[in-house]
Structure 1
Amino acid sequence: MVQQTDLAIAPRTAMGRAVKHLRQQGIIPANIYGHGQPSVAVQVDALAFDRLRRAKNTRNFLTLRMPDGPNQTALVRHVQSDAISGQTLHIDFFRVDLQERLAVKIPLKVTGESYAVKNLDGVLLHLLDALEVECKAEEMVEYIDVDISSLNEMDDIIHAKDIKLPANYTLATDPEEPVIKVSPPRAAALPEEEVQVAAPEAGTPEQTPIAGE
């Protein structure tokens, strides 16, 4: 199961254009929604959230700690960032009941060794980096293993349906979706191009312009 990480939050009263001043103070506006409950406006310390992102803990369940309210378990559903500066502009948190089933994307982790890659100089192509699955929130894992030891020949492919899922998981990705493939080395895949220079036909005299023409 993925770890739970604490994150302090506080009620937010600044709305609309006023949130610009929050960001200037190092505070990120956010909302908590889900489970048929009203959306709640909150704010998060930017440095604290950036530490979570650098540690890749934003994929974990978060225990959102409100100073004068009950703690809430949530997932980061969406992060809006500035396209140029990368500054986090807004966060959406989704309330989670650990007993409910969720539709989530879980990253893939390659394990094992491919004969085609090791001995035939094949190139491993990662066509999909995460699987969409349904599972209980409390049973959600950080990643799903993909064993590549079955890739023995060039152009062998592992499809989504070939990946062993944890117990009680349901695959939501198209079962026929290619996930990993072994491709021939680029030099072998591209045949040598024969460059032919056209020679003048035999018996064709080289024509020289006649003065005055």
Structure 2
Amino acid sequence: MTRARCPQETKRCYDNAYSFGSTTTRGAWQKVSTLRKQGILPATVYGKNVEPIAIQIDERAFANTFRKVGTAVLVDLHIAGHDPIQAFIHTIQRHPVSRNVVHADFRAVNLNEETRADVPVGLVGMSSVVARGDAIVNQTLYAVRVRAKPTDMPPRVDVDMSKVERLGQPVYVRNLALSDVYTIETPGDTIIVSLTGIKRRGPGGA
């Protein structure tokens, strides 16, 4: 897995894209159970004006990439017999016991058209209330729906917890920083995170 190069026809380079390198198509005769035993992950590529393509990729390379980029960062797929495809990891399926990824879907995109993705919400900094041990963080929203051109899609959006200074002060989606290149479509009145007070026991344990 390597960083991707930008297609020559695109005006902007997406430095945060990743490439899986050589990826091969998967024949209908190949049993997915056999592929998985060989450390190969079966996957499907689909999208607007793209016929579904069954592919197989290195399981470890996929796991490492997904852990880093999630579903909001472009990846380059170099599939034998096809032009390079820019895509987002759309969905994954996990084994019910081992929780290993057993299948993945890639959604191919046009770099010149807006698309939507669920972008992770990260928490940065620390509230002074939490630092004093008077509260704990209660995050209830972990991703927001974002509309943007693929090259403008943020890998994540952050909440600065150092600005949350009191109990009863939830952070809403509408409090997220605005951007000129992408739009957050999740309703603004959705709560992302709040602080829950910690009851301190007195000397007698009451």
TM band (smaller chain): 0.7 to 0.9
TM-score, length basis structure 1:
0.77
Structure 2 counterpart of 1:133, which letter? Answer: V
Check the 8 A contact 1:160/1:175 in 2, yes or no.
Answer: yes
Alpha carbons of structure 1 residues 47 and 122: separation in structure 2 relative to 1, 3 Å:
closer
Query: What's the counterpart of residue 23 of structure 2?
Result: 9
TM-score, length basis structure 2:
0.79
State the alpha-carbon separation in 2 of the partners of residues 92 and 158 from structure 1.
33
1:83 Cα deviation from its structure 2 partner:
0.9
Cα deviation, 1:181-206, whole Å, max 9, x if unaligned, reads 12211447xxx87xxxxxxxxxxxxx
Cα deviation, 1:76-101, whole Å, max 9, x if unaligned, reads 11111211122322111110112221
State the alpha-carbon separation in 2 of the partners of residues 22 and 117 from structure 1.
48
1:2 Cα deviation from its structure 2 partner:
6.5
Find the partner of 1:57 among 50, 64, 69: 69
Query: What's the counterpart of residue 80 of structure 1?
Result: 93
Over alpha carbons, which structure has the higher Rg?
Answer: 1
Check the 8 A contact 1:2/1:142 in 2, yes or no.
Answer: no
Check the 8 A contact 1:144/1:165 in 2, yes or no.
Answer: no
1:133 Cα deviation from its structure 2 partner:
1.6
State the superposition RMSD in angstroms. 2.4
Query: What's the counterpart of residue 151 of structure 2?
Result: 138
After superposition, residues 31-180 of structure 1 pair within 5 angstroms as 31-54=44-67, 56-59=68-71, 60-119=73-132, 121-180=134-193
Alignment: residue pair count: 188
Query: What's the counterpart of residue 194 of structure 2?
Result: 181
Check the 8 A contact 2:146/2:153 in 1, yes or no.
Answer: no
Q: Percent identical across equivalent pairs?
A: 25
Structure 2 counterpart of 1:12, which letter? Answer: R
Cα deviation, 1:70-123, whole Å, max 9, x if unaligned, reads 111111111112111223221111101122212211112223443433457222
Check the 8 A contact 1:27/1:45 in 2, yes or no.
Answer: yes
Alpha carbons of structure 1 residues 114 and 48: separation in structure 2 relative to 1, 3 Å:
closer
After superposition, residues 186-201 of structure 1 pair within 5 angstroms as 186-187=199-200
Check the 8 A contact 1:127/1:178 in 2, yes or no.
Answer: yes
Cα deviation, 1:24-51, whole Å, max 9, x if unaligned, reads 2222211110113221111112232233
1:58 Cα deviation from its structure 2 partner:
4.4
